Structure 1
C-alpha cells in the first residue's frame, strides 16, 4: 500500500499546473491530447497483458512436481492448467497461514467486506418565504405575456 502511495505522490510531483495567463489554450489542449494518447496506449498494453495471461493460464501445466500434486488432490488431467496451478498455489499459501493469500481467495469468491462506512445523519430543512404582491402563473403563456 505504501508503494502505491509513493507512486501516486511521484505522479503528483510531475504535474505542471496551468496557471491562467502563463499557458495558452493551445498549449493546454496539446498537453491534454498527449495525455489522452498516453492513456490509450497504456490501456492497449494492459489489454495485451490480460490477453497473454488468459492464453498462458489455459496452457497445460508442464511441471512434473505440480502435476503430481494436482493428481494427489484429485484434479483431472484436462483441468491441469497454469491457471489451476496458480489457484492450487494460492490455496496452499492460505492453508499455511498467509493472510494475503486468504484475502485474495476471499476477494475472488466475492466475499470481500465493504470498504464503505455507512452513516446516517438526521437533517431538516426549513423554508421561509415572504409574501409579496407576485402571483403564480397558471401557464407558460402568462409568463411570456408578462415579459412583452
Structure 2
C-alpha cells in the first residue's frame, strides 16, 4: 500500500526524473506486450493442432465435421455450444462475444408476451 506522504507528483519532479520514470515505464510496457504476444501465439499454435484423443475426434466427426477441420479450437467451440444448449449461461455469453455481439439479441417473443401480460392486467382491473 502506498504512503501518500512519500508520493511526489511529476509536476514537482525535475524533467530528467520525469523522463527517466517515463523511460522505465515504456520498457516495462514493451516487455509486457511481448509477453502477451508470445502467450497469444502459443495459444494459437496449440489450438490449431489436431485433437490428440481419437475418441474425441470420432465424436466430432459424428457431428458432421470433417477430420481435416477437427482441431483443438473446433473441439473447444463444440464443447461451448453443447454447454450453451444445455442451459449454461456463461457458455452462451462466451459464444455471443465470439460472434461479435456484446449484448445478446433480445427475444422479441418474450417482449410481446410481457406486453400482452401487462395489457391483460389492465383489462382485469377494468372488469373487476
Please, which of 90, 94, 116 is the counterpart of residue 84 of structure 2? 94
Please, which of 69, 81, 89 is the counterpart of residue 79 of structure 1? 69
Indicate whether 1:46 and 2:36 are aligned: yes
CA contact (8 A) 2:96 2:103 kept: no
Rg bigger for which structure?
Answer: 1
Q: Alignment partner of 1:30: what SS?
A: helix
Report deviation, 1:57. 1.4
Measured on the aligned residues, the alpha-carbon RMSD in Å equals: 2.5
- Alpha-carbon distance in 1 for matches of 2:3, 2:15: 20
- Alpha-carbon distance in 1 for matches of 2:10, 2:31: 28
CA contact (8 A) 2:46 2:72 kept: yes
Please, which of 4, 15, 18 is the counterpart of residue 9 of structure 2? 18
Give TM-score scaled by structure 2 length.
Answer: 0.68
CA contact (8 A) 1:61 1:85 kept: yes
Report deviation, 1:73. 0.7
Corresponding residue of 1:120: none
Misfit runs of 4+, over 4 Å: 13-17
Equivalent residue pairs, number: 102
- Alpha-carbon distance in 1 for matches of 2:56, 2:3: 45
CA contact (8 A) 2:10 2:18 kept: no
Q: Answer 1 or 2: which has greater helix percent.
A: 2
Gaps of 5+ in 2: 105-128
Gaps of 5+ in 1: 1-9, 115-148
Give TM-score scaled by structure 1 length.
Answer: 0.60
